Amino acid sequence: MIGQTLAGRYRIISYLEEGAFGQTYLAEDLHLPARDRCVVKQLKPKATDEFTLRAARYLFAREAKVLNHLGKHPGIPRLLAHFEEKKQFYLVEQFIDGRDLSEEIKAGKQLSEQQVITLLREILEILTFVHEQNIIHRDLKPSNIMRRKQDGKLFLIDFGAVKEISTQIVNPQGVTLLTVAIGTLGYMPSEQIQRKPKLASDIYALGMIAIFALTGVPPRKLPDDPQTGEIRWRDRASVSNKLANIVDKMVRFYFSQRYSSAKEALEAVKALQDPSDRSVLETVNALQKPSKLSYLKVNPAISAIALSLVLGIGGLLYLQQTLNEDPEARPKLTPILVYENSDYGIKMEYPSDWELTKVEDVLGTIAKFAPPESKVNIIPHEVTISVENLTPSMSLDEYTTSAVGEIIQFLPEARIIDSRRVKLGNREAHQIIYTGKDKKHNLVIKYMQIWFLEGDRSAPRQREDSVYLVTYQAEADKYDRFLEPVEETMIKSFEVE
């Protein structure tokens, strides 16, 4: 590869890294006057049959879109380009001139407590942005954290999701299967080894980095407590109880006992540097919690007590009656309002008492609709509209095969109830109804999704073939409650000009 030019633009200068998922090269951009340097990552699918390549193309385009969004953060390298050449996939990213943390955190070397606190805080600030996009890094380790030479700034690199492209095979039924778990032993918690990573899985990995830095002992050489499965490390480090307690919580065996996200862990680390901030933060959080009805997400018995204190017994009985009333006894939802999005040419009617939220997130969601009672449910009733660019072009059947494969692979206990061709906005579309398990709340969620493909490049925001997707979700036993307005008002009126 050395000396070759990819996509007629990126000339390979040297190897940076070679691994099981592909190769990483240093390259120069021949289209820029200064021939700026960049990083080219070559991703090789495990198989090259048409089924696998088709799914890999879809996955590659999706992950490139995610990386492009993440690159807006100053602590994550920018994605400069992505392309396919000779059945192999390439990402071109910003080159960070520096060294990774494996040169700072290594066997036999112990960092000071203050060094580790500073390290945790800077990484958690970047990871908070990642987790706010509901994205899991999946491969946090010292070699995937770069320190830039010019200013010492840290960068997160090598997001694990991209490596799925190199680890998948697709069976003739179109179901995508990963051949290995993504991550690095020693930094992967048990749920990630079982291919069920959570946001808290990244917290575990960062906690193991902190332990390595404090003890100088590589993660795989640390003993476990045979009774609890927890990591035993405190006797190998000189560390305060306050920091040790935070790190211990980061690496708990059960993910439910860890910090749930980077933001929560960051608040704890910040309090080490300025304890006065912590008390203020806790007071604000305590005042905000009731307004968000967060007590409905805990034990039902506790929720009932809390509600009775706020509403009184009469108010609680009224609320319970409202939640359990016969759907047929409810009045029809009239009048209706019209949602319009001129950027995508979308028009749709919706009940006037439903809440409309206009958004634009990394997964392509542009609007969410929720009925008035949605917020009292653990899993809210919700209708979303999404528009995703599709690269490369696919037929409706090809996209459906990939989408169904992803549902089966990634949704716990997924079960397909119905799958058939329908019409949506006078377009040929595909509808699928399925269920899956929300293990956090031990609830079954039911989904209806309808999608069609559109290739009108004249639309203002559309530069490629696109997928228009309407999704309705609800707890399975409450799914029928708003099915009529969803089908008869919203889906029936959906139009794309």
- Give the separation between CA 129 and CA 137, rounded to whole angstroms: 11
Instruction: Give the position of tokens 């080490």.
Output: 272
Dist CA 189 CA 202 (whole Å): 9
The CA distance from 419 to 432, in Å, is 4
Give the largest CA-CA distance in the chain: 78
Give dist(CA 68, CA 60) in Å, integer: 12
What does DSSP assign to residue 260? S
DSSP letter string, 76-95: SPPEEEEEEETTEEEEEEE-
How is residue 420 written in tokens?
Answer: 């058939």
Nearest to 388 by CA among 459, 462, 472: 462
Phi/psi region, residue 425 (left: phi>0; alpha: psi -120 to 50; beta: rest), is: left
Gap between the Cα atoms of 27 and 7, Å rounded:
12
CA 52, CA 351: separation in Å to the nearest integer? 42
Q: Distance between CA 11 and CA 190 in Å, rounded?
A: 41
Cα 107 to Cα 215: distance, rounded to the nearest angstrom: 8
Distance of CA 478 to the CA centre of its chain: 26
Contacts of 224 (CB under 8 A, 6+ apart): 230, 231, 232
Q: How many CA atoms are closer than 13 Å to the CA of 267, on its beta-carbon side?
A: 13
Phi and psi, residue 230, nearest 5°: -80, 155
Give the whole-angstrom CA distance, residue 336 versus residue 490.
10
Residues 6+ apart with CB under 8 A from 102: 141, 142, 143
Catalytic residues: 139
Report the chain's C-alpha Rg in angstroms.
25
Q: Which two tokens stand for residue 324?
A: 């359990």
Question: Taking the CB of residue 392, how many other CB atoms lie within 10 A of it?
Answer: 12
Query: Between vectors from CA 244 to CA 240 and to CA 248, what angle results, nearest 5°?
Result: 170
Q: How far apart are CA 95 and CA 260, in angstroms?
A: 32
